Amino acid sequence: MNIHILGICGTFMGGVAQLAVASGHKVTGCDANVYPPMSDQLRAAGVDVIEGYDARQLALQPDIFVIGNAVSRGNPLLEAILNQGLPYVSGPQWLAEHVLQGRWILGVAGTHGKTTTASMLAWILEDACMQPGFLIGGVPLNFGVSARLGGTPFFVIEADEYDTAFCDKRSKFIHYRPRTVVLNNLEFDHADIFDDTAAIETQFHHLVRTLPHNGLIVSNASEASLERVLNRGCWTPVERFNDPGGYRTSGNDASGDLVLHRQQGEIGRIIWTLLGEHNRANACAALLAARHVGVPLEKGLEALSRFVNVKRRMEVRGTVRDVTVYDDFAHHPTAIATTVAGLRRKVGPARIIAVVEPRSNTMKLGSMKAELPGSLADADAVFCYGANLGWNAQEVLAPMGAKAIVEVDFHNLVSKIIAKARAGDHILVMSNGGFGGIHGKLLAALAE
């Protein structure tokens, strides 16, 4: 089959492209924003990527157009497809019909931690010689790619609650029909498509309603929102983590230990490289999900001692003149607060300079702006890129006083950060986009 993918450089659609190539299909695609790491992965897979959405791409004459959810009405190529009555399908539906059919799907859902938990789960299965396939919204450094077809029926997928496509407003995860599901957490996000938390809970319950009786739900016991979802009706066994009377984890960032507990006592402990209570909870969820497909908890825990975190999750991009620059995907106030807190535990009293680009649709709309100052409270200095926002970042961050600086000119932003930095500092850059390659620009400027 020849397919042409609209929006191919998104983490999900780029993964679909790689899986399609591995399945023997011919793949081309287009996007308006082509940047690493996805552009590098697509090039390595032999996928030709066209910049832009010119309607002349109809001349490629694929068997079907696969439409990403970033593509909306008014897009010139999409309008040409509709006008000519050409066959099209959403990315999740194409994936479900041509890759996932007949496989044991392990889905990881939640507002936060999907990418890291799915990466942990895939690695635990890989370490157990189970050769899983996977599609993850990031690049797990144990694998070096975000998607792989795999050599067995097991397939790990990041189960996103965002909508499917312009033609299908259900959450993506409805299409996957998993047998094993992790429900990590649930809070308000995606203000561009959801009115409130209750609307998101409804989508999560649609997922729960599709799970088989012989499946398993691994759910975060500390999340009241998830308990509300399950109380709507659940036909699948549930195991809970973060449960004071059941499965839980503990540890210490300074020593790097991770301890797994159950009601009867300690199961085991390892030394690993990740930071924060959130990552220890992610590990517990991944271990319980892996046990459902046959990996003993002790073996899974030992595998995590060799787990390397995901690219763009507290990734050290470089250290110049004793100033370290980190790249992190955090773009929601909860994730920002968790990331800053994790780095604080790691670096102790050293200065943290937080650099934030409010780029997600939720942040651009300002739905979570009131929480932003509190999420950055543990940083010593804050720089916010305030361009292209529907709200005044200077006004929102005013309670932070001189600690926060807002800049709408990118080059001025870089200059002000460099002027602030001194030896021993940690510059934490948080964005869910490429942020204009700011990490490299900061390192280059520090070197000068």
Sheet harboring 26-31: ordered strands across? 48-51, 26-31, 2-6, 64-67, 88-90
Cβ atoms of 252 and 271 closer than 8 Å: no
Residue 198 falls in which region: left (phi positive, over 0), alpha (psi -120 to 50) or beta: alpha
- The DSSP H or E segment spanning 92 is helix 91-95
Q: Determine whether the annotation assigns residue 273 to a binding site.
A: no
Q: Determine whether the annotation assigns residue 251 to a binding site.
A: no
Cβ atoms of 296 and 281 closer than 8 Å: no
Q: Determine whether the annotation assigns residue 116 to a binding site.
A: yes
Q: Determine whether the annotation assigns residue 114 to a binding site.
A: yes
Q: Determine whether the annotation assigns residue 107 to a binding site.
A: no
- The DSSP H or E segment spanning 220 is strand 216-220
Q: Determine whether the annotation assigns residue 278 to a binding site.
A: no
Place of tokens 């010689």: 129
Cα–Cα distance measured from residue 169 to residue 83, given in angstroms and rounded to the nearest whole number: 21
Burial of 155 (0-12, 13-18, 19+ CB in 10 A): buried
Q: Determine whether the annotation assigns residue 334 to a binding site.
A: no
Scored b (16 or more CB within 10 A) or e, 406-429 reads bbeebeebbeebbeebeeebbbbb
Query: Which residues are documented as binding site?
Result: 110-116
Binding residues for ATP: 110-116
